[in-house]
Amino acid sequence: MGSVVESVIEKCASKKANIEEIKDTISKMEESPTVPLNYTEQIRKLQDSLLDLRCRSMKYNLVFTGLPSPPNENCEENLHGFLQHELGMTFRPEIGNVHRFGKPGLGGVRPVVARFLHRNDMEWILKNAYKLKGKPFGINEQFPFVSIQTKIKLFNSLVMSVLTYGSETWKTIEKDKKKLDTFQNRCLRQLLRVRWPDKI
């Protein structure tokens, strides 16, 4: 019986020593300015820098929707043919990378993303995108995914604040209020991707 009690006492003593060691470590961490206790600010900064890097890496990317997808296609040749026939491009732009991605969109085909080596080529394509009006094709710049909460915060802080700036001095009539409400609802529907028949 004595050996059991002694082993229990030894275990308790070792546990007590471990607890004291942990307490010392915690107190040193609390006193040390190099080890932050709250990592939320660091996480936010890392998320911001990651978003910035994504934006920079997609700077020369264009997304083409509605391009037909023949079997055994060469995406780059398909894109050059599209640019020549639909936009009337007489020169051949230098493209770094072209591939299909994501889910099928218009016409059941997946969109194509192309990375252009020169900004001028990309700007020429965007300027001439009006020629696609009424056709089942689309051209957009590629941007990184931003959460809906972030979009709404940006909308409220940037768009609505500019719209209502100085509104305290306006003599608003019901017609102006309806226009502002309509604009706000339209923007929120686009941000939240809510169709017109549905309710926000």
The pTM of the full predicted model, rounded to 2 decimals, is: 0.58
Assess if residue 133 is contained within a domain: yes
The DSSP output letter for 59 is T
Dig out the tokens for 88 from the structure.
């009337």
95: β partners:
116
113: β partners:
63, 99
Assess if residue 199 is contained within a domain: no
How many domains are there within the chain?
A: 2
Based on the fold, state whether residues 86 and 114 are members of the same structural domain.
yes
Write the CATH number for 87: 3.30.70.1820
> Cβ(62)–Cβ(99) under 8 Å?
no
Q: What is the extent of the structural domain holding 124? A: 55-141
Q: What is the pLDDT along the chain (200 residues), one digit of tens a residue?
A: 567 667 767 777 777 777 788 878 777 777 766 545 567 788 878 888 888 888 888 889 999 988 888 888 898 999 999 999 999 989 899 998 899 988 776 567 888 999 999 999 999 999 998 898 888 888 888 887 777 777 777 777 777 777 766 566 666 678 777 877 888 888 877 777 666 655 54
